Amino acid sequence: MNSHERTCQPRQRGPVRQYLPAGYPKLNTPTRREHAMAQLYFYYSAMNAGKSTTLLQSAHNYQERGMRALLYTPAIDNRSGSHAIHSRIGLTAEAIAFSEGYDFYDAVKQAQVAGPVHCLLIDESQFLTPLQVLQLTRVCDQLSVPVLCYGIRTDFQGEPFEGSKYLLAWADNIIEIKTICRSGKKATMNARLDEQGNRLTEGAQIDIGHHYEALSRKEFHLEVVSPVGRRQAP
């Protein structure tokens, strides 16, 4: 083949790359290699940043493509009277309730008997136990199912939740969903408020039903609120 013939040959193109946000499914059916690369994602933010909205959008993307996504929400949060995921903009979806004794690995393995499971989407993942986070790593590594967790890192005193602590340690991908404080700075902390809007700095770590405000670390005043700061006080 001479140089002219080589020039006239049609150019061989590779597969078209699909640029989608991390954690979103590809438009085509996943290959065996892609399943083998299933990963654990932790999407974190301060309160009221749109975590549940983002989760429900991801669920819609999977379902629109005929793919099976399992949605989870903690059983402890039953304020709506049913176990569903609700967003602040009015979106909602039914979900499986999980408690401390729930085994994600066994549940997904059983679900795969009925057909492929393409993704797990877990709301309020800070309420996971360390053992459950370990189970989710096995769902990725041994069952080849990607897991997307959405939650907050710290409580109203700035203390880390157990589930979030292990997700930060073991997740393959850690993504921040950003929101802003009333000061205009990025909000990273969660202040607990009473019904009158007064700041609460004492109480149980898990207390469903209070109001919360997302604050910057400066506005949060860790040195006053955190048990670590109080232990160092003279």
Catalytic residues: 124
- Which two three-digit tokens encode residue 220? 């949060």
Interior CA angle at 60 toward 56 and 38, to 5°? 85
Q: Let me know if 195 is exposed, middle or buried by CB neighbors in 10 A (0-12, 13-18, 19+).
A: exposed
- Which two three-digit tokens encode residue 125? 């993942």
CA 126, CA 151: separation in Å to the nearest integer?
A: 5
- Answer left, alpha or beta for residue 128, where phi above 0 means left and psi between -120 and 50 means alpha: beta
Residue 187 main-chain phi, psi, to 5 deg: -85, 130
CA 79, CA 81: separation in Å to the nearest integer?
A: 5
Which of 114, 20, 99, 100 lies closest to 62 in space, CA to CA? 20
